C-alpha cells in the first residue's frame, strides 16, 4: 500500500527560484513537465518552468520571472515516463487538483522605492528593518 506524497511548504526565494518541500524523498528523474506554474491573477501570464533539481525532500524550481505580487499555483503532476513518487516508491502524489498544488505570490522587486524608503526610515530601531523574518517585514 502506498502513502500520499504531500507538499509541506513552498518558498519563493526570488522571482525565478522556488523551493518546495515534500513529506518524503523524491525520485531524481523528475522533469520540468512534472511542474506547472499557473497564474491565478487576471491578465498575468503563466510562468514556464525552465529547470528543476531534487535534493532529498526538496525540489528547487527555476522558472521565468514571476510578476510582482501576482498569485500563482505551483502544480505537480505525473507524466507517462516520470511518475511523481518517492525515491523508494512507497509514496505517490495524489493528483486531485487540490493537494497537488500550492498557492504562491510573486516577490517584491528588490529595488522597490517604497521598500527602500521604509527600510531607511525604520533602520536601527525596534522594528529591525534589516531582518526579513521579523513580523513587520513579512507584511
pLDDT value at residue 128 = 65
Q: How confident is the model at residue 56 (pLDDT cuts 50, 70, 90)?
A: very high
Query: Counting every residue, how long is the chain?
Result: 139
Residue 10 CA, chain-centre distance (Å), reads 4
pLDDT value at residue 132 = 65
Say which CATH class 3-107 falls into: mainly beta
pLDDT exceeds 90 at position 85: yes
**0.85 cut: is pTM over it?**
no
Tell me what percent of the residues of the chain surpass a pLDDT of 70. 88
Closest listed residue to residue 44, CA positions, set 77, 15, 18, 7: 15
Residues 17 and 50: beta-carbon distance below 8 Å: no
Q: Could you report the per-residue pLDDT of 40-54, keeping only the tens digit for each?
A: 999 999 999 999 999
- For the chain, count helices (H), then strands (E): 2, 9
In the chain, where the domains are located: 3-107, 110-139
Amino acid at each position: 500500500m502506498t502513502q500520499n506524497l504531500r507538499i509541506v511548504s513552498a518558498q519563493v526565494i526570488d522571482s525565478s527560484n522556488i523551493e518546495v518541500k515534500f513529506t518524503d524523498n523524491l525520485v531524481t528523474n523528475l522533469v520540468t513537465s512534472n511542474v506547472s506554474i499557473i497564474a491565478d491573477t487576471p491578465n498575468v501570464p503563466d510562468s514556464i518552468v525552465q529547470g528543476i533539481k531534487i535534493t532529498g525532500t526538496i525540489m528547487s524550481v527555476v522558472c521565468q520571472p514571476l510578476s510582482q505580487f501576482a498569485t500563482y499555483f505551483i502544480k505537480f503532476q505525473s507524466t507517462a515516463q516520470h511518475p511523481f513518487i518517492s525515491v523508494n516508491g512507497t509514496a505517490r502524489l495524489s493528483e486531485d487538483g487540490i493537494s497537488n498544488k500550492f498557492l504562491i505570490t510573486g516577490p517584491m522587486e528588490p529595488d522597490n522605492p517604497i521598500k527602500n524608503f521604509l527600510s531607511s526610515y525604520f533602520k536601527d530601531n525596534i522594528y529591525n528593518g534589516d531582518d526579513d523574518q521579523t513580523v513587520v517585514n513579512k507584511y
